Amino acid sequence: MALKKITNYLSLVKFSHTVFAMPFALIGFTLGVNQPEAHFDIMLLAKVILCMIFARTSAMAFNRFIDRDIDSKNDRTRNREIPAGVVSSTSALFLVILSSLAFIGTTWFINSICFYLSPVALIVVLGYSLTKRFTWLCHLVLGIGLSLAPIGAYLAVTGKFDWVPLFFSFAVICWVSGFDIIYALQDEEFDRSLKLNSMPVAFGKKGALMISTLLHAICIFFIVRAGIFLPFGNIYWAGVLVFTGLVIYQHLIVKPNDLSKVNLAFFTTNGIASIIFACFVIADLLS
């Protein structure tokens, strides 16, 4: 029974989707460790990972809580845990509060700048769930939320801002916004019927895919810019090629008139892209 309940909560917050932001947090952490005044600390790494888990758990649980009525009306989402009665809305809200407090509490044990900025980070990641009610820029807000991963991890190590992790944060904004637009294609008609906002609703499937392509091109620009700025070595550039290839691939398999491979593009391709890219970047930094 306890194992089943844990499984339900992990499904509620889509724990497997941690593969999107966590690899970039590890990039930010390794960038910080590479600074002359810094050093590797296994306990600090554990705290950064916990912060990522707590922040993302609170964000996803809040998303499921705030969207519970919308999800119950959508054929694609009515089987999610809250509409299906597997997890109560009260339990989901309690998970939001508990995870948020755990996130803030963990930052207290990292450094003062992370602690002071933790409420701002929560406002961004929680606020995303409300944005589709009033703006089609909601995808960018999601991107901003996940973009806090590399700069946040870097701040945890160094306690200061720098350009290199910011390049990766800018890349994450464009990358996540781009693939979230692709994912939102599935709900264009439903969102329009409920007067919800998204780029597919505002610009149609074809226009939304064009914007997604542009955002992903800008993402690659920032990744290339980071490689030139540091500069990185050959291992990094090999990772850039693989990441770029996978980003291009998702645009080849999703068409305005064929959304059958949206889930393949959204989760599988992007999950693999982030993990592989992080491995190449970290390997280059440690070489």
**Segment 247-268, tens digit of pLDDT:** 999 999 998 888 888 887 777 8
State how far the Cα of 33 lies from the Cα of 38, in Å rounded to an integer: 5
Q: Is the pLDDT of residue 107 over 80?
A: yes
Q: What is residue 238's predicted lDDT score, i.e. its pLDDT?
A: 98
Mean per-residue pLDDT over the chain, rounded: 92
Decide: pTM greater than 0.85. Answer: yes
Residue 15 corresponds to which amino acid?
F
The stretch 202-227 carries a mean pLDDT of 97
Closest Cα to residue 13, out of 76, 80, 101? 80
Closest Cα to residue 78, out of 63, 67, 88, 89? 67
Residue 161 corresponds to which amino acid?
F
Residue 202 corresponds to which amino acid?
A
Q: Which domains, from first to last, does the chain contain?
A: 17-286 (1.10.357.140)
pLDDT category at 9 given cuts 50, 70, 90 is low
pLDDT category at 1 given cuts 50, 70, 90 is low
Residue 118 corresponds to which amino acid?
S
**Segment 42-95, tens digit of pLDDT:** 999 999 999 999 999 999 999 999 999 999 999 998 998 899 888 899 999 999
Between 18 and 1, residue with greater pLDDT: 18
Please give the span between the terminal C-alpha atoms of the chain, in angstroms, as a whole number. 47
